[in-house]
Amino acid sequence: MAKSIDVSDLSIYYGDFLAVEGVNMTIRAKAVTAFIGPSGCGKSTFLRTLNRMHEVIPGARVEGKVMVSGQSLYDPTIDPVAVRRRIGMVFQRPNPFPTMSIYDNVIAGVKLNSRKMRKSDADALVERSLRGANLWNEVKDRLDRPGMGLSGGQQQRLCIARAIAVEPEVLLMDEPCSALDPISTSAIEDLIHQLKSEYTIVIVTHNMQQAARVSDETGFFNLKAAGQPGHLVEFNPTTKMFTNPDEPSTEAYISGRFG
């Protein structure tokens, strides 16, 4: 049930401060879309508007439209909690719940919403999600141990398992590998490739090679100048972005001649 996302004329504010200006793009279903760009250009901010996590910050608001399967996300009748149930998110730093075991972390999304579930169903969900996150073999013997006891890479995969356990339609990933070593990174990239068949995935990354490896389409964000709002410079299939980009500034950034 993966969904595509249509963004039109989206401007994002923190109070009076315009952070990102006039974004238009279509994020394809069952594909990986990567956002690249320098720090502070609004990639993460934009990502967070896609499941209404942006407004968790006081004073934050948006103008413009985000359409998911014909529904406007920022329509007053839309419940942000319901949006986040459908559009999951994985964060830069692994953040398993410290009071919960590995098992409880995985089913947190179900359990904390007090949805009734039989033990056998819960067991099956935990196994399915952990298998989906490539973590099952490593933790199957210690599901009752605290989630915080895992290594950083395992914790991040636990967070991915937790996110896919609520069966979202879209998975947003905010620099999911920036705190991880190359081996854990590669495990997560493999995982992204597998998840692509079922989910729409949007990933923010600082690692150009990673964007080239995992994504089907890439968006390049940049600041017009210091102090100016960020904007979407170019949005194209990844192969085109990395071989023959339309914009010279994209090429400059990708090839390392930034400025």
Q: Which of 16, 39, 58, 120 binds another protein (CB under 8 A)?
A: 58
Taking residues 149 to 178 in sequence order and writing x for each that binds another protein by CB under 8 A, - otherwise, the string is: xx--------x--xx--x------------
CB of 105 to another protein, least distance (A): 10
CB of 45 to another protein, least distance (A): 14
Distance separating alpha carbons of residues 201 and 194, to the nearest angstrom? 11
Total residues contacting another protein (rule CB under 8 A)?
33
14 belongs to the binding site for another protein (CB under 8 A): no
Distance separating alpha carbons of residues 198 and 192, to the nearest angstrom? 10
Distance separating alpha carbons of residues 109 and 217, to the nearest angstrom? 29
Q: Which of 18, 78, 108, 252 binds another protein (CB under 8 A)?
A: 108
Q: What is the DSSP string of 191-256?
A: HHHHHTTTSEEEEE-S-HHHHHHH-SEEEEEEESSTTSPEEEEEEEEHHHHHHS-SSHHHHHHHTT
- Picking from 125, 135, 127, 140, the residue whose alpha carbon sits closest to that of residue 158 is 135
113 belongs to the binding site for another protein (CB under 8 A): yes
Distance separating alpha carbons of residues 202 and 32, to the nearest angstrom? 6
Distance separating alpha carbons of residues 252 and 244, to the nearest angstrom? 12
CB of 112 to another protein, least distance (A): 5
Closer Cβ to another protein, 159 or 254, answer by number: 159
Cα distances from 59 to residues 15, 16, 52, in angstroms, run 5, 8, 13
Q: Which residues within the stretch 233-252 sit at the binding site for another protein (CB under 8 A)?
A: none
Q: Which of 71, 99, 228, 255 binds another protein (CB under 8 A)?
A: 99
CB of 130 to another protein, least distance (A): 16
Q: Which of 7, 32, 60, 89 binds another protein (CB under 8 A)?
A: 89
Closer Cβ to another protein, 82 or 124, answer by number: 82
Cα distances from 233 to residues 43, 119, 154, 211, 230, in angstroms, run 12, 49, 35, 16, 9
Q: Which of 17, 24, 56, 240 binds another protein (CB under 8 A)?
A: 56
Q: Which of these segments, 94-102, 133-141, 185-193, 240-248, binds another protein (CB under 8 A)? A: 94-102
Q: Which of these segments, 19-27, 69-77, 112-120, 191-199, binds another protein (CB under 8 A)? A: 112-120
Half-sphere exposure for 255 (CA within 13 Å, toward CB): 10
- Residue 82 CB: number of other CB atoms within 10 A? 10
Binding residues for another protein (CB under 8 A): 51, 53, 56, 58, 81-86, 88-89, 91, 93, 95-99, 108-109, 112-114, 145-146, 148-150, 159, 162-163, 166
